[in-house]
Amino acid sequence: MNKNDLTYEELYRQGCEELETAGIGEAKTDARLLLEWCCGTDRNTLLAHGERAVTEAECGRYAACIDRRRRRVPLQHITGEQEFMGLTFEVNKDVLIPRQDTEVLVEEVMRYLHDGMRILDMCTGSGCILLSLLRYSNDCTGVGADLSGEALAIAARNAERILGAGAMEKVAFVQGDLFEKISGQDRFDMIVSNPPYIKTDVIDTLMPEVSRHEPRLALDGHEDGLFFYRRIIAQAEKFLAGGGMLFFEIGYDQGAAVRLLMEEAGYTDVEVVRDYAGFDRVVCGGSHV
Ligand code: GLN
């Protein structure tokens, strides 16, 4: 990339071209967002101040970012953040990047969430589900569990970022294999989970941003994709308070299977909820105790 005497808009055009040539789907958007990231600018700059000069340092940073994006590093791994439920979460290679689809899960839980409830987020990753629920409710508290200590380090940083200084009074993070380290005494009104649910064989067919850069641990639902639903459904009841509810995010083709697993385990009023694209996205049901 030529670093001499470029304007902001010219630099943006170079970025677009490089990403387009590399076959990046959202080339223009990504080129703009990376430029804003490198220059500390916002969308308005391209619209209103395209003739602005760029410094050599900005050019250098941008070239490095475009190069990483060309090699399919997810945009969010370059910027280190992703917006979810109107909040900005820190992300890195150790956590699944929060998806817009998952906002449907949060919104569904919110329909039933009351002040002061206790929430368990199983496979919390970045913490985006639990922390959004705590941020948008009153006096609720929660536990986020994950097998990955690296993920929990990000979740803890997000807790401070989203909930502020008193975060640790409202939320705790526990490392373990599903419920392994959750105390048997601890009962929750809501258990929510976006577990790994991609069939092992399918992972390598996903976009390289996902298959090569997102944590396999957060994606791999074993042979039929349902491994974690079975285990969570079997154990969750012991950790639900009377009248408690279990909520899952699911893959678009898993609605019937997960509904059946929950019904067979005795959960009541099991429902499958669709996302805005019309695909099955959430399954929820009540504890029968
Ligand atoms: N929805 C994610 C994807 O499509 C997968 C999330 C998960 O396995 N929990 O990549």
Ligand 1, residue 214: give the atom nearest the CA.
10
In a domain, 76, yes or no: no
For a pocket test of ligand 1, which of 95, 122, 129, 197 has the largest count of ligand atoms closer than 8 A to its C-beta?
Answer: 197
The answer to the question of residue 2 being in a domain is no
Last residue of a domain, one of 71, 97, 121: 71
- Taking 70 as the threshold, does the pLDDT of residue 190 lie above it? yes
In the predicted structure, residue 4 carries a pLDDT above the cut 60: yes
Final residue in a domain of this structure, among 32, 52, 71: 71
CB of 197 closer than 6 A to ligand 1? yes
Q: Are residues 115 and 250 in the same domain?
A: yes
- Pair (181, 274) in one structural domain: yes
Q: Is the pLDDT of residue 2 over 60?
A: no
Q: 145-181 burial, b for 16+ CB within 10 Å, e for fewer?
A: bbebeebbbbbbebbebbbeeebeebbebbbeebbee
Q: What is the pLDDT of residue 187?
A: 96
Average pLDDT over residues 250-256: 98
Instruction: Please state the pTM of the whole predicted model.
Output: 0.95
175 and 268 both lie in a single domain: yes
68-79 burial, b at 16+ Cβ within 10 Å, e below that, comes to ebbebbbbbbbe
**Phi and psi at residue 155, to the nearest 5°:** -60, -40
126: Cβ below 6 Å to ligand 1? no
Nearest protein Cα to ligand 1, atom 9: 196
Alpha-carbon gap, residue 92 to 167, rounded angstroms? 21
Judgement on whether residues 25 and 86 belong to the same structural domain of the protein: no
CATH number of the domain that residue 25 is part of: 1.10.8.10
Cβ 167 under 6 angstroms from ligand 1: no
Asked if the structure places residue 3 within a domain, the reply is: no
pLDDT reading at 3 higher than 60: no
Residue 219 Cβ < 6 Å to ligand 1: yes
pLDDT of residue 5: 82
Count CB atoms within 10 A of the CB of residue 214.
22
Residue 167 above 60 pLDDT?
yes
Indicate the number of domains in the chain.
2
Among the atoms of ligand 1, which is closest to the Cα of residue 221? 8
Structural domain harbouring 230: 82-286
8 Å CB contact between 67 and 19: no
Mean pLDDT on 205-222: 98
Atom of ligand 1 nearest to the CA of 206: 10
Q: Tell me: the pLDDT tens digits for 214-247?
A: 999 999 999 999 999 999 999 999 999 999 999 9
Between the CA atoms of 107, 237, 234 and 259, what dihedral angle is there, to the nearest 10 degrees?
-40
CA of 13 to the centre of ligand 1 (A): 32
For residue 227, how far is its CA from the centre of ligand 1 (angstroms)? 14
178: domain CATH number is 3.40.50.150
> How far is the centre of ligand 1, averaged over its atoms, from the C-alpha of 255 (Å)?
14
For residue 219, which atom of ligand 1 is closest to its CA? 8
Considering the domain architecture, whether residues 42 and 151 belong to the same structural domain is answered as no
Per-residue confidence band for 207, with pLDDT thresholds at 50, 70 and 90: very high
Pair (217, 253) in one structural domain: yes
Instruction: Tell whether 93 and 223 lie within a shared domain.
Output: yes
Judgement on whether residues 136 and 187 belong to the same structural domain of the protein: yes
Judge if the beta carbon of residue 233 lies within 6 A of ligand 1: no
Read off the pLDDT of each residue in 20-46 and give the average, rounded to a whole number. 97
Phi, psi (5° rounding) for residue 102?
Answer: -70, -20
